[in-house]
Amino acid sequence: MAEIIQLSASKKQSNDILETLRSEFSKDVASVEVMMRENMGSYVDLIPEIGAHIVKAGGKRLRPLLTLAGARITGYEGEKHIPLAAAVEFMHTATLLHDDVVDDSDMRRGMPTARMKWGNSASVLVGDFMLGQAFRMMVAAESLKALDVLSNAAAVIAEGEVMQLANLQNIDITEDNYLRVVEAKTAALFAAAIEVGAIVSGSPKNIIDALQSYGRNLGVAFQLIDDALDYANQNTSLGKNYGDDFREGKITLPVIMAFRRGDEEERAFWSRVIKSPSASNEDLDQAIQYLKKTKAIEETLDRASHYGHRAKDALALFPDSDTKEQLLELVDFCIRREH
Amino acid sequence: MAEIIQLSASKKQSNDILETLRSEFSKDVASVEVMMRENMGSYVDLIPEIGAHIVKAGGKRLRPLLTLAGARITGYEGEKHIPLAAAVEFMHTATLLHDDVVDDSDMRRGMPTARMKWGNSASVLVGDFMLGQAFRMMVAAESLKALDVLSNAAAVIAEGEVMQLANLQNIDITEDNYLRVVEAKTAALFAAAIEVGAIVSGSPKNIIDALQSYGRNLGVAFQLIDDALDYANQNTSLGKNYGDDFREGKITLPVIMAFRRGDEEERAFWSRVIKSPSASNEDLDQAIQYLKKTKAIEETLDRASHYGHRAKDALALFPDSDTKEQLLELVDFCIRREH
C-alpha cells in the first residue's frame, strides 16, 4: 500500500458550513430536490432508475447551493432561482455520467458508477436526457440572460473536457495550460451557478461580476484540492479512489510540479508511469515520494489557497450579512476539505 | 452475399427536391453553413478537427432546411431562423456522435465514424460541446418559445434513444411501442425544426401546430423508410451499411412485422438472431427471405406512405406557394429515397 499524505484538516468543522447552508436554505433546497426528482421522471423506466441511483449517491449539492446563495445575497424574493439551481445540478450530473464513461471509472462517491451497473450506452444517453431536462428547467426560469450564461458554460465545460482528453499522458503541459482546463471543466460551472442567482434578481453588472469571480476562483481552488486529494486520501465513503488520476495518466497540478522540479531520473519516472496503461502500486509509492520531495502537494494546496483568497476578496464589496459570512466559510471548506 | 430487396425509386428525381430547396434557400443555407463553421471553432484543436470531419461527411441538411422553410412559408423576414437552423443541425450531429458510440458504429455516411478515428471519449465530449453550442445559438435567437420547443426536443430525443436501448433484442415489442421510439428519437426533431421556423415569425397557434404536425409525420415516414433501407440497400456512398440494424439486434418495424406474421419456426429464427451477438450472412439471407414472405418491407413502406400522406394533409390549410409545393415534394423524396 502506498504511503498516505495527510492533509491537515478538521473534517467536522469543514462539513459544518455545508450543514449550515443546507439548513439556512432548507425551504429552497427542498424545492430544488422536488424539482430534480420530477425532472428525472420518464415513462422510460431506465431513466428514473438511473436517476434514483444518482440521487441515492447524493453529492454535496454545492453548485445549486451557490445559485441559491447568489439569489439570496442579492435580495431576490422570487422563485426562478429554484429551476436554475436544479438545472445547474443536472448539468453537473450529466457531466459526471459522461466523465465516468470517458475515464472508465468504476466508482463514484463510494458507489459503483451508473456505467458499471447499466453500461456505457445508458450513461451517455441518460446524461443527454439530463442535459435536455436542464435546459427545459432553465427555459422555465424565463431569463434569456441566465440561459446565455448556462448554455455558454455547457459548451465551455465540454471544451475543457476535450482539452483534458487531448492532454492525457502529455507530461509536457504547462501550469498555465492546465489552469485553462480547470477553469473550463470545473470553474465555469461554479461561476455560472452563482452568477445566474444574481441575474434573476436583476443585479447590476458589478455585483454579477463579483459573484462570478467568487465562483470561478472557488471552482479553481476546489479542483486543485481535488487533485491533491487524489494522492492524499484512501478510498473514503465520499471520495473518489486513491490514485485514480495517477492510474488514468491524468496530468494534474501535483504531477506538473513534480515533473518540472524533478531531476533527470524523476522526469524519466513521470514520463514512464503517466504513459503506462496501468501503473503499479510500487509506482504509486514512488510517485508519492517524489511528490513529497518536490513539495508538490503542499504547493498545490498553496495555489488552491491563493484562489481561495481571491474568491474571498471578490466578495469584499458586499455589506456584511449571514450569506456573505457563509460564502466566505464555504471557501475555507473547499480548501480544507478531506473529501 | 445476401439477396437485395430493390425499392422502386428514381434516385435522380428524389434528389431534385433537395437541390431545389438548397437553391431556393441558397442565401440562408450559406448563412447557416457559416454559422455552423464558426460554432465548431475552438482553441482546442480536436474540436474543429472532428468538426471538419463531420462537415466533410456532409449530410443532407434536411432538418435545417425544414427550419428555413418553416420561416419562409410563414412570411418571416428577419434573421433569427439562421441560428435556429444551425442549432437544429448541431443537435442532430451531437445525437449522431453519441449514437455511433452507443451502437458501436464503424461507418456513417460512407465514411469512418468520428469514434473510429478519434475514439469513443472524443465522440462523447465533442457531441456535448456541439449540444452546448446549439443552445448558445438558440439563445442568440432570443425566443423563449423556440428555446422551449428545442430543449423539450433534446430531452425527448434522448428519452427515445434510451427507450430504443431498453428495447434492444426485445422481439416482443409492439408496433405501437416502436412508433413511440420513432416519434421520440427521430420525429421530435423534424417537428421542432419546422415549428421554430414558424415561431420566430410570430405565427398563430393553428399555423404552428400544422407545421409541427407536418414535421412529425414526415419524421416518422423518414425513419420507417430508413428501417426498410437497412434491408434493401448495399453500402452506398451516402447510406449506412446494409444489415446494420439486423447485426446490432435493433428491432425495427420490418422485424416486428415479420416476427408477428411468421409461423413458429420463423419466430424462433427471429428470437435467435436478434439476440445473437453477431448474426451471419446466412442469417441475413434467411431474414430477407422471411421479410419477403411476410411482405414486411412492402408494408413498412406502406406505413411510411401513410405518414407521408398525413404530413401532406397537415399543409392543406396553407395557400398555394412555391414553399408549400416544395414541402409536399419533400415528402415524396423522403418516402421514395434510396439512401
Measure CB to CB from residue A162 to each of B122, B139, B144 and give the nearest one: B122
> B121: which chain A residues are within 8 Å (Cβ-Cβ)?
101-102, 165
Express each pLDDT in B315-331 by its tens digit.
999 999 999 999 999 99
Q: How many beta-carbon pairs under 8 angstroms link A with B?
A: 140
Alpha carbon B140 to its chain's center: 25
The pLDDT value given to residue A12? 47
The pLDDT value given to residue A107? 81
The pLDDT value given to residue B243? 84
Kindly write down the DSSP assignment for every residue of A26-64, as one continuous string. HHHHHHHHHHHHHHT--SSTHHHHHHHHHHHH----HHH
Contact A80, A200 (CB under 8 A): yes
- Angular region, A242: left φ>0, alpha ψ -120 to 50, beta rest: beta
Selected residue of A40, A84, A130, A139 to mutate for chain B interface (largest B Cβ count, 10 A): A139
- Nearest one of B22, B300, B104, B314 to B190, comparing CA atoms: B314
Distance from CA of B161 to the nearest CA of A (A): 7
With bands split at pLDDT 50, 70 and 90, how would you rate the model's confidence at B7?
Answer: low
Query: Taking 60 as the threshold, does the pLDDT of residue B222 lie above it?
Result: yes
The pLDDT value given to residue A9? 45
Kindly write down the DSSP assignment for every residue of B57-126, as one continuous string. H----HHHHHHHHHHHHTT--SSTHHHHHHHHHHHHHHHHHHHHHHHT--EETTEE-HHHHHHHHHHHHH
Q: Where are the alpha helices (DSSP H) in A169-316?
A: 175-182, 188-200, 205-229, 244-247, 253-261, 264-275, 281-293, 296-314
The mean-pLDDT minimum among A302-311, B4-13, B233-242 falls in B4-13
Q: Determine the Cα–Cα distance for residues B14 and B229; give it in Å rounded to an integer.
A: 15
Measure CB to CB from residue A144 to each of B95, B121, B142 and give the nearest one: B142
> A165: which chain B residues are within 8 Å (Cβ-Cβ)?
46, 121-122, 125
Selected residue of A38, A97, A162, A183 to mutate for chain B interface (largest B Cβ count, 10 A): A162
The SS3 of residue A74 is: coil
| CB atoms near residue B277 (< 10 Å) | 7
The distance in angstroms from the start CA to the end CA of chain A is: 20
Contact A17, A61 (CB under 8 A): no
Whether residues B166 and A136 touch (CB distance < 8 A) is answered with: no
Express each pLDDT in B113-150 by its tens digit.
999 999 999 999 999 999 999 999 999 999 999 999 99
pTM of the model: 0.92
Whether residues A151 and B136 touch (CB distance < 8 A) is answered with: yes
Whether residues A128 and B131 touch (CB distance < 8 A) is answered with: yes
CATH superfamily of B15-329: Farnesyl Diphosphate Synthase (1.10.600.10)
> A139: which chain B residues are within 8 Å (Cβ-Cβ)?
144, 147-148, 151
Distance from CA of A189 to the nearest CA of B (A): 13
| Nearest chain A residue to B133, by CA | A155
Contact A329, A13 (CB under 8 A): no
pLDDT tens, chain A, 339 aa long? 445 555 544 444 556 899 999 999 999 999 999 999 999 999 999 999 998 888 777 788 999 999 999 999 999 999 999 999 999 999 999 999 999 999 888 888 778 999 999 999 999 999 999 999 999 999 999 999 999 999 999 999 999 999 999 988 888 899 999 999 999 999 999 999 999 999 999 999 999 999 999 999 999 999 999 999 988 865 444 445 678 888 888 899 999 999 999 999 999 999 999 887 777 889 999 999 999 999 999 999 999 999 999 999 999 999 999 999 999 999 999 998 754
State the virtual CA torsion across B35, B38, B39, B44 in degrees, nearest 10: 170
Selected residue of A84, A115, A128 to mutate for chain B interface (largest B Cβ count, 10 A): A128
Which whole number is the average pLDDT over B8-26?
A: 75
Distance from CA of A104 to the nearest CA of B (A): 10
| Nearest chain A residue to B103, by CA | A121
The pLDDT value given to residue B188? 98
Fold of A11-334: Farnesyl Diphosphate Synthase (1.10.600)
List residues of chain B with CB under 8 Å from any CB of chain A. 42-47, 95, 98, 101-102, 120-122, 124-126, 128-129, 131-133, 135-136, 138-139, 142, 144, 147-148, 151-159, 161-163, 165-166
The mean-pLDDT minimum among A237-241, A282-286, B44-48, B72-76 falls in A237-241
Contact A19, A298 (CB under 8 A): no
Selected residue of B136, B173, B248 to mutate for chain A interface (largest A Cβ count, 10 A): B136
Q: Determine the Cα–Cα distance for residues B274 and B11; give it in Å rounded to an integer.
A: 31
Mean pLDDT of chain B: 91
Q: Determine the Cα–Cα distance for residues B145 and A101; give it in Å rounded to an integer.
A: 34
Q: Determine the Cα–Cα distance for residues B220 and B316; give it in Å rounded to an integer.
A: 19
> B163: which chain A residues are within 8 Å (Cβ-Cβ)?
44
Distance from CA of B294 to the nearest CA of A (A): 31
Q: Determine the Cα–Cα distance for residues A228 and A217; give it in Å rounded to an integer.
A: 17
Whether residues B147 and A139 touch (CB distance < 8 A) is answered with: yes
Q: What angle do CA A301, A302, A308 make, to 5 degrees?
A: 90
- Which residue type is seen at A105? S
Which whole number is the average pLDDT over B179-207?
A: 98
Report residue B92 as a C-alpha cell. Answer: 442532430
Q: Are strands B107-108 and B111-112 parallel, antiparallel or unpaired?
A: antiparallel
Give the relative orientation of helices A144-167 and B46-57 as an angle to the nearest 10 degrees.
100
Q: Determine the Cα–Cα distance for residues A13 and A24; give it in Å rounded to an integer.
A: 17
Q: Determine the Cα–Cα distance for residues B284 and A55; give it in Å rounded to an integer.
A: 43
Measure CB to CB from residue B132 to each of A101, A122, A155 and give the nearest one: A155
Q: Determine the Cα–Cα distance for residues B147 and A167; give it in Å rounded to an integer.
A: 34
State the virtual CA torsion across A274, A277, A280, A281 in degrees, nearest 10: 70
The pLDDT value given to residue A235? 45
Which whole number is the average pLDDT over B30-48?
A: 94
Express each pLDDT in B90-120 by its tens digit.
999 999 999 999 988 888 877 899 999 999 9
Measure CB to CB from residue A135 to each of B46, B125, B135 and give the nearest one: B135
Selected residue of A126, A135, A148, A169 to mutate for chain B interface (largest B Cβ count, 10 A): A135
Q: Where are the alpha helices (DSSP H) in chain B?
A: 11-24, 26-39, 46-57, 62-73, 81-103, 114-140, 144-167, 175-182, 188-200, 205-229, 244-247, 253-261, 264-275, 281-293, 296-314, 322-336
Express each pLDDT in B52-63 by its tens digit.
888 777 788 999
> B177: which chain A residues are within 8 Å (Cβ-Cβ)?
none
Distance from CA of A305 to the nearest CA of B (A): 28
- In the DSSP assignment, the letter for residue B201 is T
User: Containing H/E element for A108?
Assistant: strand A107-108
| Residue carrying the nine cell digits 474568491 | A311
Q: Determine the Cα–Cα distance for residues A254 and A224; give it in Å rounded to an integer.
A: 9
Q: Report the percent of chain B where pLDDT is more than 90.
A: 77
Distance from CA of B265 to the nearest CA of A (A): 32
| Residue carrying the nine cell digits 450531429 | B93
State the virtual CA torsion across A156, A161, A165, A169 in degrees, nearest 10: 110
Query: Which residues, other chains included, contact B210 with Cβ-Cβ below 8 Å and sequence gap of 6+?
Result: B314, B315, B317, B318
Contact B175, B48 (CB under 8 A): no
Whether residues A131 and B131 touch (CB distance < 8 A) is answered with: yes
> A151: which chain B residues are within 8 Å (Cβ-Cβ)?
132, 135-136, 138-139
The distance in angstroms from the start CA to the end CA of chain B is: 20
